[in-house]
Structures are given as structure tokens and as C-alpha cells.
């Protein structure tokens, strides 16, 4: 019939709706109506068109469609920091919420470079994305990505310094609170906090929530808060510092799972039992760390997928004319494991 659509080799060219229409013996306009369930058509005509479309493997050209619809059913996702451990769950969550809505995602990795970021922003706008999600590795607020954009923007994990922008972030203070509450609930009172660098937003937020929660229980940390870096090595080092303190420690809340794991190793090498002598809580609930640690590590899960999903949902709402504003903080979740088990459980 046509010009070789039955070839077994590579299909050279996608079929157009005009070809479908010709095969079904109708006009292109009618074919469009048939395939999209619009207009007034006889059921048999509709079916004839559908069969023709199937036979030719017709898929509507999205460029033509968006040209006339003024919408692309496409969003951009810019990760300001390189795609990493935090970006991925966010990405999965967002992709989840958008994929269900037939929206495709352009992924852009700006690598923490403002030039690349602006370049990608222009590219995305040129591609007429319906909206943009901005993501990063740190929760710290950042400058808005552009002054006044023709499409809605939602910040995920990071937040924008402009309160009118929409941001979805983890409630890190809430996470710290849950951690301390848990340690109090299992009867620990001599609690220390070891965390990342003092200039890091997450570290300070979690540290001050830790202080506050202890204070409202009438306690204070058994040692000054230990700021260091987000690594196992620092966890090991911190263990040494804590053990040389005069005051005995019976629990440590760590700012990350890596720190906690380093601490666990070093404490046990020094003869302390976990959790019998010292209970341990991490932060992030990073599978390889919490499972690799011995004993398995209790941790705070920030529900990154949920953040990605929520951001995508808010973006879709904004695209549909119902923009949200401000900072939406999502609560975390404590995942109890052996490192805080009440002892005679075993």
C-alpha cells in the first residue's frame, strides 16, 4: 500500500496522521478526532481509524501537538549539585508523580556551576517546558534560579530565598527531635551529638533542634556538640574525643549515617557495647550504611522520594493555575534498628 511500512528492517520514518487518515479513507481532521475521542463520528469510522493507526504504528508527533496546544507536557529538572545520593530519590519521586500524568522529564545536571545552570535554564525555556523543578544536594536556601520566569518553578530539597517561591524541604528539626525523643524513650539521658561542618545548614539546624529537645526534657548535651565533617573517619575520631571526656555517654545522635558508622566501629574497638553501653542513631537512613553497620543502625529517614513526589504534584498544580507558595517542610520518620534496641531484647 504505502511505501514499505511492512519492511522488516528499520522503520525509516514515523507515520503521520495524514497517512493514517488516507489508509482509513477519511480526512486528517477526522482521524485526529477519532484518535482523541472528540467530534461526532460513527463508531465504525472511529474504529477504522484506530485500526489504521495501529497498523502503521502511528504515534502523534509531540512537537506538532505542543506547537498547537501551547503546552508540551514536559518539565525540566535541574540539579544544581551533581546528581548524587540525595538527588536520585528526589528524581525517582518526581518522575513517579509526573510519569503518571503523562509528563516527561528533562534532566539537567548543572554541577554547581551558575553558568551551566543559566544555560540549562534557557534551554529548558526554549523547549517550552511547562514547569521546572530545581534540586540540590544541600538543604540550604539558595537564590531563585531566575527573576521572573514564564513557567512555574518548584524547589525540592533545597529552598529558595524568595518566600514567594514554592519549596519542598525535609523538616530536619523534626527529624532531630524524633531522634532525641527516641533516645529519651529508651531511657538514655547522657546524650551527645556528633555532626557535620558548622557552616553546613543541615548541621546547624539539626544541632539546634537537638539542643532544644534536650532542653525541654530538662537536659543538656553531655558534651559540647562536635562539628566535623560528613565522614566515617570523623565518626571514628569523634569516638575518641567522647571516650576521653570525663562524663560517661550513654547515647550519641549522629548527623549522618556515615558518622554513626565510624563511631560504632571505634566505640566497639574501644570495648564499649552498642547499644548496651552506648546507643546510636544516624541520619539519612542510607541503606548501605545502616545495613553495613554493626549493629544495624537506627536512623532518620527524610523521605526524599516523598519530597520529590510532593514537589512534582505542586508543580503540576501550579501548571494548572493553582500555584503554591512558601516553604513546605515534610516530616521525617524514625527507623528503629538494633543500635537503639532496648537491651534485653536479644
Q: Which residues make up the interface to its own copies (CB under 8 A)?
A: 7-14, 59-64, 66-67, 72, 74, 77, 82-84, 88, 91-92, 95, 99, 102, 104-109, 122-128, 148-150, 231-233, 258, 261-262, 288-289, 291-292
262 touches which of DNA, its own copies, none (CB within 5 to 8 A by kind)? its own copies
Q: Is 110 in the site for DNA (CB under 7 A)?
A: no
Question: How many CA atoms lie within 13 Å of 346's alpha carbon, on the beta-carbon side?
Answer: 10
Closest approach, Cβ 333 to its own copies, in A, equals 21
Q: Is 163 in the site for DNA (CB under 7 A)?
A: no
**Surface-to-core class of residue 220, CB atoms within 10 Å of its CB (0-12 exposed, 13-18 middle, 19+ buried):** exposed
Cα–Cα distance, 208 to 343 (Å, whole number): 29
Longest Cα pair distance anywhere in the chain, in angstroms?
Answer: 90
**No. of helices (H) and no. of strands (E), the chain:** 12, 14
Closest approach, Cβ 185 to its own copies, in A, equals 29
**Residue 50 vs 123, nearer CB to its own copies:** 123
Q: Rule CB under 7 A: choose which of 1, 69, 215, 288 binds DNA.
A: 69
**Cβ contacts of 276 within 8 Å, gap of 6 or more:** 343
Closest approach, Cβ 43 to DNA, in A, equals 8
Q: Is 39 in the site for DNA (CB under 7 A)?
A: yes
Of 173, 204, 178, 206, which is closest to residue 327 (Cα–Cα)? 173
Q: Is 38 in the site for DNA (CB under 7 A)?
A: yes
**Residue 111 vs 189, nearer CB to its own copies:** 111
- Sole window of 59-67, 82-90, 182-190, 256-264 interacting with DNA (rule: CB under 7 A): 59-67
Closest approach, Cβ 104 to DNA, in A, equals 16
**Residue 123 vs 140, nearer CB to its own copies:** 123
Closest approach, Cβ 60 to its own copies, in A, equals 6
End-to-end C-alpha distance for the chain, whole angstroms: 75
- The CA radius of gyration of the chain, in Å to the nearest whole number, is 27
How many residues sit in the footprint of DNA (CB under 7 A)?
29
Cα–Cα distance, 317 to 163 (Å, whole number): 18
Sort residue 25 into left (φ over 0), alpha (ψ -120 to 50) or beta. left
Record the cell numbers describing residue 29, joined without a space: 481532521
**Residue 129 vs 293, nearer CB to DNA:** 129
Q: Is 65 in the site for DNA (CB under 7 A)?
A: yes
* DSSP string for residues in 179-206: HHHHHHHTT--SEEEEES-TTSHHHHHH
Cα–Cα distance, 285 to 301 (Å, whole number): 5
Cα 299 vs. chain centroid, distance in angstroms?
Answer: 18
Q: Is 102 in the site for DNA (CB under 7 A)?
A: no
Closest approach, Cβ 163 to its own copies, in A, equals 15
Closest approach, Cβ 65 to its own copies, in A, equals 8
Record the cell numbers describing residue 43, joined without a space: 463508531
Instruction: List residues binding DNA (CB under 7 A).
Output: 16-18, 25-33, 35-36, 38-42, 45, 58, 60-61, 64-65, 67-70
Amino acid at each position: 500500500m504505502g511505501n514499505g511500512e511492512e519492511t522488516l528492517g528499520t522503520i525509516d520514518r514515523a507515520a503521520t496522521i495524514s497517512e493514517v487518515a488516507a489508509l482509513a479513507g477519511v480526512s486528517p481532521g477526522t482521524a485526529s478526532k477519532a484518535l482523541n475521542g472528540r467530534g461526532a463520528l460513527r463508531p465504525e469510522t472511529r474504529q477504522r481509524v484506530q485500526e489504521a493507526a495501529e497498523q502503521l504504528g502511528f504515534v502523534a508527533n509531540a512537537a506538532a501537538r505542543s506547537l498547537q496546544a501551547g503546552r508540551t507536557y514536559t518539565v525540566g529538572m535541574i540539579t544544581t549539585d551533581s546528581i548524587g545520593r540525595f538527588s536520585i530519590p528526589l528524581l525517582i519521586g518526581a518522575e513517579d508523580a509526573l510519569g503518571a500524568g503523562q509528563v516527561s522529564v528533562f534532566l539537567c545536571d548543572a554541577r554547581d556551576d551558575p553558568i551551566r545552570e543559566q544555560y540549562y535554564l534557557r534551554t529548558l525555556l526554549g523547549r517550552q517546558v511547562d514547569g521546572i523543578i530545581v534540586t540540590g544536594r544541600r538543604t540550604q536556601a539558595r537564590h531563585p534560579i531566575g527573576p521572573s520566569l514564564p513557567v512555574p518553578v518548584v524547589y525540592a530539597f533545597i529552598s529558595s530565598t524568595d518566600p514567594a517561591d514554592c519549596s519542598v524541604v525535609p523538616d530536619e528539626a523534626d527529624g532531630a527531635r524524633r531522634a532525641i525523643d527516641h533516645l529519651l524513650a529508651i531511657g538514655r539521658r547522657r546524650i551527645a551529638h556528633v555532626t557535620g561542618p558548622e557552616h553546613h545548614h543541615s548541621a546547624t539546624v539539626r544541632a539546634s533542634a537537638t539542643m532544644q529537645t534536650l532542653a525541654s526534657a530538662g537536659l543538656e548535651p553531655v558534651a559540647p556538640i562536635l562539628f566535623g565533617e560528613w565522614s566515617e573517619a570523623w565518626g571514628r575520631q569523634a569516638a575518641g574525643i567522647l571516650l576521653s571526656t570525663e562524663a560517661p555517654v550513654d547515647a550519641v545522635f549522629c548527623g549522618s549515617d556515615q558518622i554513626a558508622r565510624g563511631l560504632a566501629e571505634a566505640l566497639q574497638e574501644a570495648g564499649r557495647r552498642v547499644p548496651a553501653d552506648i546507643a546510636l542513631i544516624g541520619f539519612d537512613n542510607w541503606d548501605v550504611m545502616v545495613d553495613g553497620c554493626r549493629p544495624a543502625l537506627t536512623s532518620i529517614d527524610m523521605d526524599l522520594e516523598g519530597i520529590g513526589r510532593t514537589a512534582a504534584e505542586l508543580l503540576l498544580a501550579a501548571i494548572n493555575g493553582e500555584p503554591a507558595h512558601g516553604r513546605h517542610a515534610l516530616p521525617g520518620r524514625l527507623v528503629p534498628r538494633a543500635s537503639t534496641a532496648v537491651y534485653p531484647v536479644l
